[in-house]
Amino acid sequence: MPDDTTYPLAEAVRAAYHAGEDDETMEPLVCVDTTGQPIGRISDGDYVIFYDIRGEREIELTEAFVARDFPHFLREPITTQWATMTEYHPDLNVRVAFPPLGAVHNTLSETVGKAGLRHVKIVESEKGVHLSHFLNGRNNEPFPGEERRIVPSLEFAGYLPPPEMRADAVASATIEALRDPTMDLLIVNWANVDVIGHSEDREAIKQAVSMVDAQLGRVIEVAKEMKVTALVTADHGTVEKWYYPDGTIDTGHTDSPVPFVLVAPHLPGVGVRDGGSLVDVAPTVLDLLGIEKPAAMTGKSLTVGRTDRRDKSGRVAVLILDGWGARDDAWGNLILEAQTPVMDTLQATYPSTRIEAAGEAVGLPNTVPGRPGKTVGNSEVGHMHLGAGRIVPSDRLRIEWAIADGSFFENPAFRWAMEGARRDGTRLHLLGIISFYSSHGSVEHLKALLHMARQIGVQEVYVHGMLGRRGEKPESGAIYVGDIEAECERLGLGQFVSLIGRFWSLDREYNWDRIEKSYRWLVHGEGRPVSREK
- Is the separation of the CB atoms in 159 and 195 below 8 Å? no
By C-alpha distance, which of 274, 260, 175 is closest to 216?
175
**SS3 call for 428:** strand
Domain annotation for the chain: domains and CATH numbers: 4-99+397-531 (3.40.1450), 108-392 (3.40.720.10)
Output the CA–CA distances (angstroms, integers) from residue 141 to 107, 135, 320, 512, in the order listed: 13, 11, 21, 25
Sort strands 461-467 and 428-433 into parallel, antiparallel or unpaired: parallel
CA distance 10 to 208: 34
**SS3 call for 194:** helix
CA distance 194 to 484: 29
What pLDDT does 291 receive?
Answer: 96
Q: Which helix (H) or strand (E) holds 481?
A: helix 476-491
Q: Which helix (H) or strand (E) holds 1?
A: none
**SS3 call for 98:** strand
CA distance 477 to 443: 11
What 8-state DSSP symbol labels residue 292? P
By C-alpha distance, which of 183, 184, 201 is closest to 192?
201
In sequence order, what DSSP letters do the residues of 360-412 get, joined into one string? GGGTS-S-BTTBSSPPPP-HHHHHHHHHHSS----HHHHHHHHHHHSGGGG-H
Alpha-carbon dihedral sign for residues 249, 253, 257, 259: positive
pLDDT in tens, the chain (534 residues): 444 447 999 999 999 999 999 899 999 999 999 999 999 999 999 999 999 998 889 999 999 999 999 999 999 999 999 999 999 999 999 999 999 887 899 999 999 999 999 999 999 999 999 999 999 998 889 999 999 999 999 988 776 899 999 999 999 999 999 999 999 999 999 999 999 999 999 999 999 999 999 999 999 999 999 999 999 999 999 999 999 888 988 888 999 999 999 999 999 999 999 999 999 999 999 999 999 999 999 999 999 986 554 455 589 999 999 999 999 999 999 999 999 999 999 999 999 999 999 998 999 887 665 555 688 999 999 999 999 999 998 888 889 889 999 999 999 999 999 999 999 999 999 999 998 767 788 899 999 999 999 999 999 999 999 998 665 677 788 999 999 999 999 999 999 999 999 999 999 889 999 999 999 999 999 999 999 865
- Distance linking the first and last C-alpha atoms of the chain: 18
CA distance 414 to 407: 11
Burial of 407: CB neighbours in 10 Å, binned 0-12, 13-18, 19+:
exposed
By C-alpha distance, which of 309, 383, 303 is closest to 350?
303
Q: pTM to 2 decimals?
A: 0.71
